[in-house]
């Protein structure tokens, strides 16, 4: 049996396929009985025998082929999504459960994590649109059926408890802090207002995350004639991150950027309300007359005593630099730790950082005001050389209200280590 899901509007763009060989319709053949083979293993279908007396006999194959299968491929309709059985563990994975976030650990290219489904609450149904006014000389329009979650109870995702939401989001932040090459975008629960979001945000302190409020109104469905539904903002904000990266670079704050494909914000934020959100690092999404709906903040969830990392683009720029330096220093393994090697490293890093400065990612009128690279006898004494290590200290002044951010690259035979500090 071959099971195929073709690309469509509500399914992944790539074709999914499962193939099962040597299936049997004889229930006594437990090893190859179709129900025993397909149901525990398939991610696409479940099969059930309704009339076993019609197929379990000497002529079972001929009787089966006399049914729908005699016309060739069978196209299934309806089905169940099974979202009602989703658990927090499906998002986080575990020590022995290699799924959810655990899978993303293995993908080095990932730079942004978000999980809007953790707080998303699907509507029971989409309200029907009023019938349009028809011109007497025009043919009637084709009827457009809107999806209704209520028709399939298994398609209703669970509403996680607030403690579960907190644990899932903390797992996102933990992965970002451990891998150091990605950041997380968090969503507030739907029912919370601005003051409640501030209190909820206090549970997170990480320079690797950012929080945005409020939710966004998007079109309910294709052909919904202006109907809207609320969705968490993280998916749209992640698109702003990506668009800003492509147009300007990681050093550009992902703020003052218009959001697309949305109808409105779920809650209007005024300038006075934003003054109450900013001190607690909650980034507002605001609607401006004539300018559209824009992300109006770029703060991270860093703690108050971690002010150098107040802005999320500073964290992302540092992660990009550290990742690039880590990969570009692979050639230095087992090279003699002498003046020539240290001079080469200083030159290579300086050229790389100067390019970022020229693109506007670092502040300062001159390159010396934007960064420095130190790799000489002072931070590579005999004890470091004898240990098989080489240390490069790099300081950069991100184009934001902050001083130098310092990190050290320690390269040894066993690998590289990056240590961040402050100055």
15 lies in which domain range?
A: 2-71
Report, as an integer, the average pLDDT of 181-204: 91
| Better-predicted residue by pLDDT, 415 or 305 | 305
Tell me the per-residue pLDDT of 381-418, one tens digit each, with 9 for 90 and over: 988 888 888 888 899 888 864 434 565 667 666 666 66
Question: Phi, psi at residue 182, to the nearest 5°?
Answer: -150, 160
In a domain, 322, yes or no: no
- Give yes or no: residues 200 and 119 share one domain: yes
How much is the pLDDT for 324?
A: 86
Q: What is the largest CA-CA distance in the chain?
A: 93
Owner of token pair 């003046």: 339
**What percentage of the chain carries pLDDT values higher than 70?**
77
- Give yes or no: residues 305 and 355 share one domain: no
The band of 150, judged by pLDDT with boundaries at 50, 70 and 90, is very low
Name the DSSP class of 379. T
What's the domain count of the chain? 3
For residue 376, cis peptide bond before it (omega within 30 degrees of 0): no
Mean pLDDT score across all residues of the chain: 82
Of 282, 312, 342, the residue at which a domain comes to its end is: 312
How much is the pLDDT for 403?
A: 38
In a domain, 134, yes or no: no
Owner of token pair 């703690």: 303
Q: Which CATH number does the domain housing residue 386 bear?
A: 3.30.360.90
Give CA 209 to chain center in angstroms. Answer: 12
Report, as an integer, the average pLDDT of 28-54: 82
Report, as an integer, the average pLDDT of 239-250: 93
- Which range, 74-83, 94-103, 170-179, has the best average confidence (pLDDT)? 170-179
- Give yes or no: residues 93 and 10 share one domain: no
Q: Is the pLDDT of residue 152 over 90?
A: no
In a domain, 222, yes or no: yes
How much is the pLDDT for 402?
A: 44
Nearest Cα to 324, choosing from 101, 111, 104? Answer: 111
Burial zone of 348 (CB within 10 Å; 0-12 exposed, 13-18 middle, 19+ buried): middle
- Give yes or no: residues 167 and 284 share one domain: yes
In a domain, 103, yes or no: yes
Tell me the per-residue pLDDT of 337-347, one tens digit each, with 9 for 90 and over: 888 988 999 99
Q: Considering the entire predicted model, what is its pTM?
A: 0.73
- Give yes or no: residues 95 and 65 share one domain: no
The band of 21, judged by pLDDT with boundaries at 50, 70 and 90, is very high
Q: Is the pLDDT of residue 376 over 70?
A: yes
The band of 141, judged by pLDDT with boundaries at 50, 70 and 90, is low
How much is the pLDDT for 62?
A: 54
In a domain, 76, yes or no: no
Indicate the pairing of strand 2-5 with strand 209-213.
Answer: unpaired
Q: Is the pLDDT of residue 358 over 80?
A: yes
Q: Are 212 and 219 in contact (CB under 8 A)?
A: no
Nearest Cα to 311, choosing from 281, 284, 333? Answer: 281
Tell me the per-residue pLDDT of 105-139, one tens digit each, with 9 for 90 and over: 888 889 999 999 999 876 555 455 555 566 677 66
The band of 86, judged by pLDDT with boundaries at 50, 70 and 90, is confident
- Give yes or no: residues 361 and 308 share one domain: no
Of 248, 277, 312, the residue at which a domain comes to its end is: 312
| Helical ranges in 180-308 per DSSP H | 194-201, 234-247, 271-277
Instruction: Name residues whose C-beta falls within 8 Å of residue 29's C-beta, 6 or more positions apart in sequence.
Output: none
Q: Are 405 and 396 in contact (CB under 8 A)?
A: yes
- Give yes or no: residues 288 and 349 share one domain: no
- Give yes or no: residues 384 and 276 share one domain: no
- Give yes or no: residues 199 and 247 share one domain: yes
- Give yes or no: residues 32 and 92 share one domain: no
The band of 97, judged by pLDDT with boundaries at 50, 70 and 90, is confident
- Give yes or no: residues 169 and 288 share one domain: yes
Tell me the per-residue pLDDT of 309-350, one tens digit each, with 9 for 90 and over: 889 999 999 999 888 888 877 888 788 888 898 899 999 999
In a domain, 321, yes or no: no
Sheet strands side by side (includes 415-422): 371-374, 390-396, 405-412, 415-422
Rounded to whole angstroms, the Cα distance separating 50 from 44 reads 20
Q: Can you name the residues that pair with 362 across neighbouring β-strands? A: 398
In a domain, 289, yes or no: yes
Of 312, 344, 362, the residue at which a domain comes to its end is: 312
- Give yes or no: residues 182 and 292 share one domain: yes
| Better-predicted residue by pLDDT, 30 or 150 | 30
How much is the pLDDT for 144?
A: 47
Tell me the per-residue pLDDT of 42-82, one tens digit each, with 9 for 90 and over: 988 888 876 655 555 555 555 555 566 667 777 777 666 77
In a domain, 138, yes or no: no
């Amino acid at each position: 049996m071959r099971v195929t899901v073709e690309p469509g509007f509500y399914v992944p763009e790539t074709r999914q396929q499962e193939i099962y060989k040597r299936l049997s319709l004889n229930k006594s053949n437990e090893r190859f009985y179709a129900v025993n083979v397909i149901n525990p293993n398939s991610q696409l279908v479940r099969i059930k025998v309704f009339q076993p007396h019609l197929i379990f006999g000497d002529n079972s194959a001929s009787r089966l082929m006399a049914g729908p299968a005699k016309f060739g491929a069978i196209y299934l309709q309806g089905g169940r999504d099974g979202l009602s059985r989703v658990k927090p563990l499906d998002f986080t994975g575990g020590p022995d459960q290699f799924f959810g976030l655990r899978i993303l650990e293995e993908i080095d290219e990932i730079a942004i994590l978000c999980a809007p489904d953790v707080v998303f609450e699907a509507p029971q149904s989409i309200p029907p649109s009023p019938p349009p006014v028809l011109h007497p000389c025009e043919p009637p329009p084709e009827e457009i059926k809107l999806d209704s979650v209520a028709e399939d109870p298994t398609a209703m995702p669970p509403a996680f408890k607030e403690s579960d939401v907190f644990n899932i989001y903390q797992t996102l932040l933990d992965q970002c802090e451990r891998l150091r090459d990605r950041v997380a975008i968090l969503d507030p629960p739907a029912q919370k207002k601005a003051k409640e979001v501030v209190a909820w945000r206090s549970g997170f302190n990480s320079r690797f995350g950012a929080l945005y409020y409020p939710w966004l109104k998007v079109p309910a469905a294709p052909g919904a004639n202006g109907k809207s539904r609320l969705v968490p903002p993280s998916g749209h904000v992640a698109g702003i991150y990506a668009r800003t990266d492509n147009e300007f670079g990681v050093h550009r704050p992902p703020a003052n950027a218009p959001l697309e494909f949305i109808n409105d914000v779920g809650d209007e934020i005024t300038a006075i309300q934003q003054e109450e959100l900013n001190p607690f690092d909650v980034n507002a999404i605001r609607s401006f007359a004539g300018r559209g709906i824009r992300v109006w903040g770029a703060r991270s969830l860093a703690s108050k005593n971690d002010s150098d990392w107040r802005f999320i683009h500073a964290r992302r720029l540092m992660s990009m630099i550290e990742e690039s330096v880590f990969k570009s220093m692979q050639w230095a393994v087992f090279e003699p730790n002498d003046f020539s090697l240290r001079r080469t490293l200083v030159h290579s890093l300086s050229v790389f950082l100067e390019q970022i400065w020229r693109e506007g990612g670092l502040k300062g009128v001159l390159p010396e005001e934007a960064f420095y690279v130190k790799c000489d006898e002072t931070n590579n004494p005999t004890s470091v050389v004898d240990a098989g290590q080489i240390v490069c200290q790099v300081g950069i002044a991100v184009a934001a209200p902050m001083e130098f951010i310092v990190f050290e690259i320690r390269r040894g035979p066993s690998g590289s280590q990056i240590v961040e500090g402050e100055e």
